[in-house]
């Protein structure tokens, strides 16, 4: 059958997005309750409530809600009080925020290559990057699969480093091979979540940092509110107007309205993760017959399946990844690519001196990856469309 990109009939008339938020009437009611009360729109009691609920869910002592996942990373790294010659090791395959937040704090990101199979940071390559300037490791749970926590913990303890987990993709995922199977957010020194609309739950825009360290918690609360140490609630309680700015902070506060949405979303997170896993299993089974042409990410641990990524075997296809990408788009699939290695972006090349060849595994994987649609409200027909379109395009272009 001729592809739409070559003049054939388009498989889907409406584009199926690669990811999509799930909003129902209960979400609208939760937000309308805040508006109807007409008391707090910015930071108020629902921020604290949401923080406490996420802490209880993941098993962490403290949570600090902020207005984006990027703000969460910045807040987390601010706890390290980094200096200009300090270094933070970070996975090279992620959204740029994972490394940008290191620059925000005036330190240097040191890019670590990935495992080809999982696309997570290659824990066996970390130690060779450690110097006397290394302060911590930012590791990314790509696509929703946690990294090798046990090896990371060994490295942390051996070199006295701080572990920062970028868990933008993995909230709601349990940590396998642990007796109590705790949730992501309870392990690292600092864990950051993102609540962007395509993430596992949403607050429209938003994020949160989880920690069991009280000192980090207090520092981040101050950092997210201009560096002011006494908030309005404490001033009201003390009957005082006086406050002090004790550090250079930012306005990273999140509104009550958005946290009301987050609290309501959190209730359904387990069922949404289960649905994502069911869809991924359908894909795995359906695509097994095409294993000569592509493969999914290897699953060493339980995954939240924020995204479903396939890696093309270009040696068995007649065209590049970009041609496959265009053909899938032309058939009605809103595919994406996650991600271009951070060190290949012009800013890093021009300002940090990074270049091709720095992380060869990630660079090779980048040329072969495509993200397929996956989100909880996908209908059975949507899932079948993804399977059929991928089959159509891959078979058309096979050698």
> Is the model's pLDDT at 135 over the cut of 80?
yes
Token code pair at residue 360 = 């060869």
| Mean pLDDT over each residue of the chain, to the nearest integer | 96
Instruction: Give all domains of the chain, ordered by start, each with its CATH number.
Output: 4-20+269-397 (3.90.1150.10), 25-266 (3.40.640.10)
Residue 247 has a pLDDT of 92
> Tokens 């981040």 correspond to what residue?
220
φ, ψ for residue 345, nearest 5 deg? -70, 145
CA proximity to 143, closest of 79, 95, 102? 95
Could you tell me how many helices (H) and strands (E) the chain has, helices first? 13, 12
What pLDDT, on the 0 to 100 scale, is given for residue 109?
A: 98
Q: CA distances (Å), 343 to each of 104, 363, 364, 393, 398, in order?
A: 16, 10, 13, 31, 32
pLDDT score for 182: 80
pLDDT of 177 above 70: no
pLDDT above 70 for 181: no
Lookup: tokens for 36: 């109807």
* Structure-token pair, residue 187: 């392990």
Contact 345, 96 (CB under 8 A): yes
pLDDT classification of 147: cutoffs 50, 70, 90: very high
Provide CB contacts within 8 A for 218, sequence distance 6+: none
- At residue 231, the pLDDT reads 74
What is the rounded CA–CA span in Å between residue 62 and residue 121? 26
Summarised one tens digit per residue, pLDDT across range 211-265 is 999 999 999 999 999 999 877 677 677 777 888 999 999 999 999 999 999 999 9
Query: What burial class does residue 238 get, using C-beta atoms within 10 Å of its C-beta: 0-12 exposed, 13-18 middle, 19+ buried?
Result: exposed
Give yes or no for residue 320 having a pLDDT over 80.
yes
Q: Residue 135: helix, strand or coil by DSSP?
A: strand
**Is a pLDDT exceeding 80 seen at residue 373?**
yes
Between the CA of residue 213 and those of 47, 60, 64, what are the distances in Å? Answer: 20, 10, 12
pLDDT at 239: 75
User: Residue with structure tokens 């788009």?
Assistant: 329
Supply the pLDDT for residue 157. 98
- CA-CA distance, 385 to 332, in Å (whole number)? 9
Look-up of token digits 């387990």: 270
Specify the residue for token string 């980094």.
Answer: 82
> Greater confidence, 329 or 238?
329
Task: State the pLDDT at residue 281.
Answer: 98
pLDDT at 230: 76
Residues whose CB is less than 8 angstroms from the CB of residue 229 and which lie 6 or more positions away in sequence, other chains included: 222, 243, 244, 245, 246
Identify whether the C-beta of residue 380 lies closer than 8 Å to the C-beta of residue 279.
no
**CA distances (Å), origin 33, targets 39, 45, 49, 264:** 10, 13, 15, 12
CA distances from residue 188 to 146, 198, 200, 308 in whole angstroms, order as listed:
11, 24, 20, 25
When pLDDT is averaged across residues 84-103 and rounded to a whole number, the result is 98
Taking residues 39-50, report their average pLDDT. Answer: 93
Cβ contacts of 329 within 8 Å, gap of 6 or more: 335
Where residue 180 falls among pLDDT bands split at 50, 70, 90? low
């Amino acid at each position: 059958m001729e592809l739409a990109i070559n003049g054939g009939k388009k498989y889907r008339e409406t584009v199926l997005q690669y990811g999509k938020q799930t909003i129902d009437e209960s979400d609208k009611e939760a937000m309308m309750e805040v508006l109807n009360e007409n008391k707090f729109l910015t930071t108020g009691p629902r921020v604290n409530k949401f923080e406490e609920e996420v802490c209880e869910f993941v098993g962490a002592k403290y949570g600090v809600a902020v207005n984006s996942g990027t703000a969460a990373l910045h807040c987390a790294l601010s706890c390290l009080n980094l200096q200009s010659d300090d270094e933070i090791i970070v996975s090279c395959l992620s959204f740029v925020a994972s490394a940008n937040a290191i620059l925000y704090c005036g330190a240097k990101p040191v890019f670590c290559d990935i495992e080809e199979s999982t696309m997570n940071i290659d824990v066996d390559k970390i130690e060779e990057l450690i110097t006397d300037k290394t302060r911590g490791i930012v590791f990314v749970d790509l696509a929703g699969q946690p990294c090798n926590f046990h090896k990371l913990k060994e490295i942390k303890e051996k070199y006295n480093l701080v572990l920062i987990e970028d868990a933008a993709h993995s909230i709601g995922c349990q940590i396998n091979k642990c007796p109590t199977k705790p949730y992501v957010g309870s392990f690292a020194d600092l864990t950051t979540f993102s609540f962007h609309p395509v993430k596992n739950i949403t607050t429209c825009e938003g994020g949160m940092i989880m920690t069991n360290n009280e000192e980090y918690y207090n520092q981040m609360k101050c950092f997210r509110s201009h560096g002011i140490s006494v908030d309005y609630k404490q001033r009201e309680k003390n009957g005082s107007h006086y406050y002090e700015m004790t550090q250079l902070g930012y306005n990273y506060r999140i509104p009550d309205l958005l946290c009301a949405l987050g609290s309501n979303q959190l209730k359904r997170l387990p069922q949404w993760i289960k649905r994502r896993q069911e869809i991924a299993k359908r894909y795995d089974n359906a695509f097994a017959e095409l294993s000569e042409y592509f493969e999914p990410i290897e699953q060493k641990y339980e995954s939240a399946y924020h995204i479903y990524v396939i890696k093309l075997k270009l040696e068995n296809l007649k065209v590049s990844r970009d041609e496959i990408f265009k053909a899938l788009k032309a058939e009605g699939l809103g595919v994406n690519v996650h991600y271009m290695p951070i060190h290949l972006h012009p800013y890093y090349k021009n300002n940090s001196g990074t270049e091709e060849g720095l992380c060869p595994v990630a660079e090779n994987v980048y040329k072969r990856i495509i993200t397929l649609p996956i989100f909880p409200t996908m209908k059975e027909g949507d899932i079948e469309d993804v399977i059929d379109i991928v089959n159509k395009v891959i078979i058309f272009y096979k050698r």
